[in-house]
Structure 1
Amino acid sequence: MKGVAPFGGGRGPFIFTVLLEERIVVDLLTRELEAMVRNEAPAMEQKGEISPKVLEAIYKRGLFKLLVPRELGGHMLPLPEALRVFEGASRIDGSFGWLVTIGSGGGYFAASMEPEVCRELFSPREAVIAGSGYPAGEARRVNGGFRVSGRWKYISGCDYASIFTVNCVIRDEGGDGRIRSFILMPEQVKILRDWRAFGLKATGSHSIVVEEAFVPERMTFDIAEPYPVYEDPLFRYPFLPFALTSFAAVALGVAARFLEEARNLLEARREVWPSPRVEAGLQAVSRAAERLQGVASAFYRTVDDTWAIHKNRPLTEEETASVNRRSRETAQEALLLADAVFPHLGMAGIMEGEPANRAWRDLHTVCRHVLLSDWG
């Protein structure tokens, strides 16, 4: 399978398509989808959730299955291609891109689950994982499995998730304190509607609570111990750079959307009231856009080069560190470029109804993720 029209290649009808081995072209991101999502975005932000229309479009294109094995109805894109789709989706809209990225990321766990469990959970058309990697729960061994309790924050996509995965500390009688991942079904989870962030409002990234839920042994897994069923290189790729590259791609897309909308706002102002300030703003946008393209090129060069190495042998610690560092630098540079342009927008820039304002808030929210903002 190979990319046919990666994001950023002109203004044709397709933003990103893939060509599967059977020579079937799958339209992942199209201009029609872009227009529809952007039209829905203001109402989604007000409601704090993705609209049924947009969710159906995601299911139809398999955007939650970009990294799911093809045997289970997924696209199983190589990571570098998936990242470009994440960027493209995020340029359409920040919340849309974040949800596509987080939903697709669940495919990473497919090889770690028992094969039969994996087939059961990932095969449905609407299959999508929401969850947390933070070990905010506790699990006690009982006959046949575990009893799980805990509270986890920032569970993006929890309103429509078909599967939840959470990390818990195992509290055996011996108190070994090991951490393991647990699979929960929606009926075992209580959603606390507490997502009150100023950006990515439509992601529904609420907290969840689980109280004494029984989880069979077969519904647990360890991502460090994948089953030898799916041979795709993704399932041998370290989790931290996988997460970091995904989030950096979102930051690139949202930053590009901000600059696009900043230009639109300033050009509209120039038509009504041309001034040196407006011209200075447009020049600042052009400089930032050029710099962002350079940042993106450096990011993908690092990703592509290390992915090629990874397919042949495990990455060294130094190579892994270079991916992680480049991802964090990419997100933070994208943020700095947006912040340099923002003052040029004047009062219009602070109005929440402006698309430029929404993109700026979304970008700040993305870049506050602990993995992107923690430089220690």
Structure 2
Amino acid sequence: MINIPESIVREVRDNAANGDRNGRLTPTILNYIYDAKLFKVFVPEQLNGLMLPLPDALRVFEQAARVDGSFGWLVTIGSGGGFFSATLPPAQARELFGGTNAVVAGSGHANGIARPVEGGYLVSGQWKYCSGSTYASLFTANCRIEGLEGEETIIRSFAFLPDQVNIIQDWNSFGLKGTESHSISVDNAYVPSDRTFDIMDNPNYDDPIFRYPFMPFAQTSFAAVSLGICRHFAEEARSFAEEKREEWSRSRSQRMEGLLRALGEQDASLKAVADQFYETVERTWTSFGTNGEMTEQQQLEVGTISQRLAKSTLAYAHMIFPLLGMAVLMEDNAINAIWRDLHTVTQHSVLVPG
């Protein structure tokens, strides 16, 4: 199990306090992530990765998000890019993922056009929400292959080097401000054929994660982030209440009792859902490893508990936030920032039933 040292926790949280202005990780934080291989959770050991089982990885994501929402999101998204280490041709995978600082930013939307030329493609396009854009060593994005009119549309994934990419600094969300989830664009960029891939092809490595269906992978990953953020929210709410204990005992003696009672009730409710979440993931992951496939019923079960967990984290925040008074309405208050991070994560489409 990865344990994030207290010195890094302090550095991340101090940096997050300036997140509205800086909106990026410090060199110290990035170097820790590289050294601990937190961006390489799903990269094979042959490429200097950790290659953790999914249930273990989710606990890493939760722990990182408990430190700070943006930090947890970047670890989770950066790790997800490790999928492509198994779908790129092996020589390119070794070159692009073998380095200590290897990390992917990109998009799954097919917003680019790729024109076939000798040896590869010329690609142009623009993609939104590319988390970790300013320090990525590699960018990936989906494109439509330009072809004869009337032919079936073909979508393929492309890997771009940083010097081919223009970063459009347009990430202006009210939460997860430190994720640098900017748009990227490329203009007539040449990509050789061996830096393209199809994520539906058979993986070049045998680990089960590379055959795991994408939707439950995304749902469980983001649900774990929402859980970590919510647990940070709970810690800060209790700390805030302790700071206010003397003041409230003079002016509103029952306020502390009511808040602590509500926190206890919400803790119990969240724990029950979180325990069910991890039990479901671990059970279906074991079944997947044994059978080599995940049934539709299992995918539905995993998706349902992931969405339920995300909903429970929001319910926790919505119950406790109004009990904390006016101070938490200020955007420079830590609880306010955590509240905004939680709402940003749970807004992701894979966590919203529909």
Shorter-chain TM-score bucket reads over 0.9
Scaled by the length of structure 1, the TM-score of the pair is: 0.90
Residue among 233, 241, 254 paired with 1:276? 254
Aligned equivalent of 2:313 = 334
- 1:358 to partner: Cα distance: 1.0
- 1:271 to partner: Cα distance: 2.5
Aligned equivalent of 1:47 = 22
Aligned equivalent of 1:361 = 340
1:262 paired with 2:237, answer yes
Q: CA RMSD in A?
A: 1.3
Residue among 168, 174, 187 paired with 1:198? 174
Deviations 1:280-328 (A, max 9, x none): 1222122112211111101101100000000011011111111112112
Q: With CA pairs under 8 Å and 6+ residues apart, which has the higher RCO, 1 or 2?
A: 2
SS of residue paired to 1:289: helix
Amino acid aligned to 1:250: V
| Residues in 1 aligned to 2:349 and 2:133: alpha-carbon distance in whole angstroms | 20
- 1:43 to partner: Cα distance: 2.2
Aligned equivalent of 1:223 = 199
Higher alpha-carbon deviation: 91-100 or 33-42: 33-42
The answer for unaligned runs of 5 or more in structure 1 is 1-15, 18-27
Paired residues of 1:288 and 1:338 also in contact (CA < 8 A): no
Aligned equivalent of 2:44 = 69
Residue among 154, 168, 174 paired with 1:178? 154
Aligned equivalent of 1:325 = 304
Paired residues of 1:259 and 1:356 also in contact (CA < 8 A): no
Aligned equivalent of 1:22 = none
Aligned equivalent of 1:298 = 276
| Residues in 2 aligned to 1:213 and 1:372: alpha-carbon distance in whole angstroms | 34
The answer for unaligned runs of 5 or more in structure 2 is none
Deviations 1:164-196 (A, max 9, x none): 010112221254212111101111111111111
Paired residues of 1:189 and 1:208 also in contact (CA < 8 A): yes
| Residues in 2 aligned to 1:349 and 1:343: alpha-carbon distance in whole angstroms | 9
1:370 paired with 2:353, answer no
The size of the alignment, in residue pairs, is: 349
Seq. identity, % = 50
| Residues in 1 aligned to 2:210 and 2:242: alpha-carbon distance in whole angstroms | 46
Residue among 267, 288, 295 paired with 1:289? 267
Aligned equivalent of 2:137 = 162
Paired residues of 1:145 and 1:216 also in contact (CA < 8 A): yes
| Residues in 2 aligned to 1:204 and 1:226: alpha-carbon distance in whole angstroms | 32
- 1:279 to partner: Cα distance: 2.2
Alignment of 1:92-131 (within 5 A): 92-131=67-106
Higher alpha-carbon deviation: 159-168 or 364-373: 364-373
SS of residue paired to 1:67: coil
Paired residues of 2:145 and 2:154 also in contact (CA < 8 A): yes
Amino acid aligned to 1:53: T
- 1:207 to partner: Cα distance: 0.7
Aligned equivalent of 1:4 = none
| Residues in 1 aligned to 2:31 and 2:202: alpha-carbon distance in whole angstroms | 31
